[in-house]
């Protein structure tokens, strides 16, 4: 097994990569977070663990990869990665997979690019455009050329949590995503933290994300996953992004984003998570307690596992890290499960099913820390079935609050664009004004 780099002298455990949302911002605040150093014991057993040093404020990583002359170790690495996926049980995925594995669903991953050559993602990735204006591309891969190991680790990690298929004998090794039968549409909208081109990309970041959302909606994405945010650009938002969100929802796409990792450093509002119409996801630890770094804001929809998360990393290696990015990717996977099992549900009803199908629900039904509670794939699928059948489970505190882009939501089985309703309302209001003006003119005559 290759040892990528050694831990710091005197350090009992190596640092890890933060699965923080990435944004072409100023490099401050929420786009990175400090590494947690506790590594799941099962991942330590029998493995030589290397750490990648800290660069440009990005937390280091614990990574595993087998050398060519130690190919027999690759299975050990993959099996250890699978054993470390504590979220499989927390989300009740083995039970949920009896109903749905996400077949027939396309999840757009708007991120730093996805390496479809990773063993756990082979056959699962559709390569979309690179909207970062980066010029280094290679056939079959969006982004940097062959051998450029810094390209797309974050996007690859998120894709593995959504649609990882594992590999090896009976696919017992590697990362299993929440929706292992779904397909990933990779749309590159930002660069990795530490990429020297990030500074040049800042000016075009908003346009890239807005264009990426529209591209995904126009190319058949059922779910759009955005583990993005942090930095000054994410705290301001933009009209172009907000309009793109409305456009995608009207086209029938479910949008999911990380709530942000700024909970300990200002707890700022984070975009794209804060746009109405987006399912914003915070992070919890193994005890299902909200992680300190997770943003606590009134736009948070639900929370999901976001600490000690094992993901794909590079051509055939793995990494463990923390962040709301991972939590958002998992909820995007849950949305894919629902979309596969209940394709007639509108984006509003998919969101409602996720928010109703939670554990650890706050006593009054909602809190800025937990949102509507801890996401649960099995319970969300059950609620989706009830919604499709017209039977609504009303939890304490009432049903989830509809966002302004959803309204009351179209009836299950209908995907009438929300924009059509807004246009109709505008036409009615205009007609009323015209009639009033005509009446006044008649009175004056």
Q: Is residue 9 part of a domain?
A: no
Residues 276 and 353 in one domain: yes
Which of these ranges, 140-149, 228-237, 398-407, has the smallest mean pLDDT?
Answer: 140-149
Residues 92 and 173 in one domain: yes
User: Could you tell me the pLDDT band of residue 197, with boundaries at 50, 70 and 90?
Assistant: confident
- Do 286 and 307 touch, CB atoms closer than 8 A? yes
Residues 99 and 38 in one domain: yes
Tens of pLDDT, residue by residue over 225-236, are 999 975 545 567
Q: Is residue 25 part of a domain?
A: yes
Residue of 118, 154, 342, 372 marked active site: 154
Residues 427 and 376 in one domain: no
Residues 341 and 439 in one domain: no
Residues 430 and 392 in one domain: no
Q: Is residue 2 part of a domain?
A: no
Q: Is residue 309 part of a domain?
A: yes
Residues 430 and 282 in one domain: no
The token pair that represents 330 in the structure block: 């998992």
Q: How many domains does the chain have?
A: 2
Residue of 63, 225, 325, 346 marked active site: 325
Separation between Cα atoms, residue 100 and residue 181, nearest integer Å? 9
Q: Is residue 1 part of a domain?
A: no
Q: Is residue 221 part of a domain?
A: yes
Residues 430 and 316 in one domain: no
Known catalytic residue at 111: yes
Using a pLDDT cut of 90, give the percent of the chain over it.
Answer: 51
Q: Is residue 288 part of a domain?
A: yes
| CATH number of domain containing 290 | 3.40.50.200
Separation between Cα atoms, residue 102 and residue 36, nearest integer Å? 32
User: Could you tell me the pLDDT band of residue 324, with boundaries at 50, 70 and 90?
Assistant: very high
Residues 174 and 204 in one domain: yes
What's the pLDDT at 423? 46
Residue of 4, 63, 111, 259 marked active site: 111
Residues 392 and 433 in one domain: no
Separation between Cα atoms, residue 359 and residue 307, nearest integer Å? 18
Q: Which domain holds residue 343?
A: 17-414
* Residue among 277, 307, 315 at smallest CA distance from 67: 315
Residues 402 and 431 in one domain: no
Residues 73 and 101 in one domain: yes
Q: Is residue 4 part of a domain?
A: no
Query: Chain-wide mean pLDDT for the chain?
Result: 76
Is pLDDT of 289 > 50? yes
């Amino acid at each position: 097994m290759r040892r990528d780099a050694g831990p710091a002298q005197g350090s009992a455990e190596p640092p890890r990569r933060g699965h923080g949302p990435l944004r072409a911002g100023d490099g401050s605040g929420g786009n990175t977070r400090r590494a947690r150093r506790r590594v799941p014991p099962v991942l330590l057993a029998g493995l030589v663990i290397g750490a990648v040093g800290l660069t440009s404020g990005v937390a280091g990583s614990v990574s595993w990869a087998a050398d060519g002359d130690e190919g027999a170790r690759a299975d050990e690495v993959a099996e250890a990665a699978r054993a470390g996926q504590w979220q499989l049980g927390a989300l009740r995925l083995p039970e949920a997979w009896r109903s749905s594995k996400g077949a027939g669903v396309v999840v757009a991953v708007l991120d730093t690019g996805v390496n479809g050559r990773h063993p756990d993602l082979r056959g699962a990735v559709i390569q979309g455009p690179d909207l970062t204006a980066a010029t280094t591309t290679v056939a079959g891969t969006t982004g940097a050329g062959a051998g450029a190991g810094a390209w797309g680790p974050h996007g690859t990690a998120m894709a593995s949590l959504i649609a990882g298929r594992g590999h090896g004998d009976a696919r017992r090794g590697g990362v299993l995503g929440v929706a292992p039968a779904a397909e990933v549409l990779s749309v590159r909208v930002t660069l990795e933290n530490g990429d020297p081109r990030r500074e040049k990309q800042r000016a075009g970041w908003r346009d890239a994300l807005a264009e990426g959302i529209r591209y995904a909606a126009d190319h058949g994405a059922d779910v759009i996953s955005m583990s993005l945010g942090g930095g000054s650009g994410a705290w301001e938002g933009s009209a172009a992004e907000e309009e793109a969100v409305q456009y995608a929802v009207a086209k029938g796409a479910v949008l999911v984003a990380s709530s942000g990792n700024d909970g300990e450093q200002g707890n700022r509002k984070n975009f794209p998570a804060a746009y109405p119409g987006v399912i914003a996801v915070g992070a919890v630890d193994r005890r299902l307690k909200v992680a300190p770094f997770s943003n606590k804001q009134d736009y948070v929809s639900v929370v999901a596992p976001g600490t000690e998360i094992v993901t794909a990393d590079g051509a055939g290696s793995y990494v463990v890290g923390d962040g709301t990015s991972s939590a958002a990717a998992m909820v995007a996977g849950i949305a894919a499960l629902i979309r596969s099992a209940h394709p007639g549900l509108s984006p509003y009803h998919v969101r409602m099913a996720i928010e109703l199908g939670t554990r650890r629900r706050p006593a009054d039904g909602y809190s800025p820390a937990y949102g509507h509670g801890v996401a649960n794939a099995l319970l969300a699928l059950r609620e989706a079935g009830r919604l499709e059948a017209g039977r609504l489970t009303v939890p304490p505190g009432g049903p989830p609050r509809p966002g302004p882009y959803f309204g009351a939501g179209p009836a299950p089985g209908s995907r009438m664009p929300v924009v059509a309703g807004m246009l109709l309302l505008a036409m009615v209001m205009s007609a009323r004004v015209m009639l009033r003006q005509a009446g006044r003119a008649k009175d004056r005559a």
